Amino acid sequence: MRRLRNVKIVATLGPSSNDYDTIRALSEAGADVFRLNMSHGDHEEIRARHAIIRKIETDLGRPIAILADLQGPKLRVGKFAHGAHDLEEGDKFRLDLDDAPGNGDRVQLPHPEIFAALKPGATLLVNDGKIRLKVEECGPDYADCVVTVGGTISNRKGVNVPDVVLPLAALSPKDRKDLEFVCELGVDWVALSFVQRPEDMLEAKELVKGRASVLAKIEKPSAVEAFESILAVSDGIMVARGDLGVELPVQAVPPIQKRLTRRCRAAAKPVIVATQMLESMIESPMPTRAEVSDVATAIYEGADAIMLSAESAAGNYPVEAVTTMNNVAMSVENDPVYRDVLDASRAGIKKQTVADAIVSAAREIAETTDVKAIVCYSESGTTAALTARERPHVPIIAMTSRRNTARKLCLYWGMHCVMTGEVERFKMAVVNAARAARTSGFATEADKIVVVAGIPFNHAGSTNILRVAPCEERLIFNTDPE
């Protein structure tokens, strides 16, 4: 199951993709990572999906990453006496802590921390921004607003507060229970919602205790402003364009997506571009041209992964959606302009360590000689991540003895992960690398590969050796002095 593309595909599981046959079909169509949305489904449902993925992983003989996406604190209005009310521009409307059913003049907003942070002039967005309220006067238990964009407000609609950094923890009590559950279950990545500051990520990582990698979802203006400090303490990033496009002007999202993608690559951390990528395929077997262009743009920008949400979780055509993404990715990556863009964006990446120099040299050798693949030994995943940052023209094979590392690396650009036994001598590492390249279909016995590793083996962060090696074992043993 060698992928004929470098960008990875993340597919969300749900009612439309809840059984072995469908999930396996998604994997065979191109899904590299499966997302478990903790906003939907109880723990037993999540456990069952996790077990199916691991069974498919065994049956297909290739690592599969699992991403658990935490719900985060959900801000919602209360209920209305008559279910819904129409608000028109210029109307006065109050939000307060009173739990009495709402009417055309007011409704409960059961979040005192919002009132504590609000100031006159702040904007409140209801129902994904379809209704906009401007705060005229506020106190510790109320906010008197004027409607600037009208619409129908109804029970339990979500509220966004784009102008204010809210004194809310990114982890709700539900999130803490879910986090412990998925870490014990054995997921590879955890996505933290509602991130506003680096402290949110540090709190989550302290609770995870190294059992999974932690990814920050960027969906708040405050997270965009604090992005560099959030990136520094995160293992990866998701550009969650849904809420980001609600809380910011929609025209601001594409430049932010491009900027964040480049910063993640420079930091050698994976970035997922998510939300509404093939939205029409929830109900249609074919995407719109605009959606195809949107997916292609994320790939041209150098994203590590692109994600399907409702398209694969609740849509009528989950396998077709993955197939479409896979086909778009292959088409883009075969375009010479794609390589031009990736190569040009490499210029801004600073290289300061021996490992940086080694993987950069591996990429340059692969580009100037007839080398078929770069094989990197990586116990923690750091060497593989640095190699992926180079965006080489040849395939990357990541060799590791740690299954959790192989699974984690499934999210990284261009990574083909292979499990191997522990090695102690570099000669055997080269032999194993050559076998993996041949077995995976990347090279023949007549070809050469570049092998990158660290001596001594099995120590994280020790990348210090590079060798151009033949793929024929007889030549390896005859020419290697070890």
Cα 321 off chain centre by: 18
Contact between residue 357 and residue 351 where contact means Cβ atoms under 8 Å apart: yes
Q: How far is CA 172 from CA 42, 187, 202, 237, 446, in A?
A: 16, 20, 15, 20, 57
* Among 3, 368, 334, 53, CA closest to 186: 53
| Residues in contact with 218: Cβ distance below 8 Å, sequence separation at least 6, in sequence order | 195, 224, 227, 230, 237, 238, 239, 240, 244, 260
Instruction: With both helix axes pointing from N to C terminus, report the angle between 318-333 and 289-300 in degrees, rounded to the nearest 10.
Output: 50
| Residues in contact with 481: Cβ distance below 8 Å, sequence separation at least 6, in sequence order | none
Which helix (H) or strand (E) segment holds residue 295: the answer is helix 289-300
Torsion 208-210-211-214 (CA) sign: positive
258 carries an active-site annotation: no
211 carries an active-site annotation: no
Cis peptide before 456 (omega within 30 of 0): yes
Phi/psi of residue 28, each to 5°?
A: -70, -30
Q: How far is CA 11 from CA 98, 272, 479, in A?
A: 41, 12, 45
* Among 391, 390, 356, 394, CA closest to 375: 394
Contact between residue 465 and residue 453 where contact means Cβ atoms under 8 Å apart: yes
382 carries an active-site annotation: no
Residue with the two structure tokens 């993955």: 322
- Catalytic residue chosen out of the listed positions 275, 382, 387, 463: 275
Q: What is the amino acid identity at position 123?
A: T
- Catalytic residue chosen out of the listed positions 54, 76, 262, 427: 76
Residue with the two structure tokens 């238990």: 141
Torsion 443-449-454-456 (CA) sign: positive
CA distance 97 to 108: 5
Strands 371-377, 151-154: pairing is unpaired
SS3 content of the chain, % helix, strand, coil (to 5): 40, 25, 35
289 carries an active-site annotation: no
- Catalytic residue chosen out of the listed positions 5, 62, 106, 217: 217
The tokens for 235 are: 């293992």
- Catalytic residue chosen out of the listed positions 3, 5, 8, 35: 35
User: What is the layout of strands, in order, in the sheet containing 396-400?
Assistant: 415-419, 396-400, 371-377, 448-454, 463-470
Strands 371-377, 448-454: pairing is parallel
What residues are annotated to the active site? 35, 76, 217, 275
